[in-house]
Chain A
Amino acid sequence: AQKVTQAQTEISVVEKEDVTLDCVYETRDTTYYLFWYKQPPSGELVFLIRRNSFDEQNEISGRYSWNFQKSTSSFNFTITASQVVDSAVYFCALSGTYKYIFGTGTRLKVLA
């Protein structure tokens, strides 16, 4: 069975703080893909990043970085120097055959 766990329901930080969103997954597949999506208050879902199971290289994109560790089945997302515009619900997702499994999401509130 596949499963994605985002244990942090809600996180509040003050602007300019760094914050890490945790994602732990379970799968028996040897080939799989992991994703992060952002859902701002306006409600749309926006794709942020994809990582396949054979690529454990960490990635940085501006203030965003992702740490993928197969040994701990984790794919964590860090926002450096957070901004109010980062306030959103963030979803981690795991793909299997034709289907995605989404975590329950982490609501991030960045306070000015």
Chain B
Amino acid sequence: NAGVTQTPKFQVLKTGQSMTLQCAQDMNHNSMYWYRQDPGMGLRLIYYSASEGTTDKGEVPNGYNVSRLNKREFSLRLESAAPSQTSVYFCASSGFGTTYSNQPQHFGDGTRLSIL
């Protein structure tokens, strides 16, 4: 009954520190996504992985890297955190229909990240 699991739920970092946000899904979905949510900005796509073994940049990839470790896991890494990366981060997954993302996305509970 887990769906999409994100860890940690909260994190405070100092500028320049690095960290990895973890995401795992147990729905056998092919596609996985990382978003950030900022007030008034909606959800913005950072990176996505259409299928195991592939990753691509989204709308706001600068300052981030991702790894699709296997079909279940998709991690997001901040190499040198900056205050502008303070945000709520959501991981999502979806089934894979055809070329288009026609399947609804299932979201994790989010990671609230503050960078001082």
Contacts and interface: CB of A to CB of B under 8 A. Distances in A.
Interface of A: 6, 9, 29, 31-33, 35, 37, 43-45, 47, 50, 52, 91, 95-105
A99 B102 contact: no
Interface of B: 31, 33, 35, 40-45, 48, 50, 56, 58, 88, 90, 92, 99-107, 109-110
List 9 A-B pairs, minimum CB-CB distance, nearest first.
A104-B42, A47-B104, A45-B107, A95-B101, A102-B43, A98-B50, A102-B42, A33-B102, A105-B42
Interface residue SS majority, chain B: strand
Contacts of B110: 43-44
B105 A44 contact: no
Contact of B101 (A45, A96, A104, A105): A96
Contacts of A101: 45
Contact of A100 (B50, B56, B88, B105): B105
Given A33-B100, A95-B101, A98-B31, 20 more contacts: A9-B40, A43-B109, A43-B110, A44-B110, A45-B105, A45-B107, A47-B104, A47-B105, A47-B106, A52-B102, A95-B100, A96-B100, A96-B101, A97-B100, A98-B48, A98-B101, A99-B101, A102-B44, A104-B40, A105-B42
Contacts of A43: 88, 109-110
A99 B60 CA distance: 13
Contacts of B35: 102
Contacts of B107: 44-45
Nearest to B45: A99
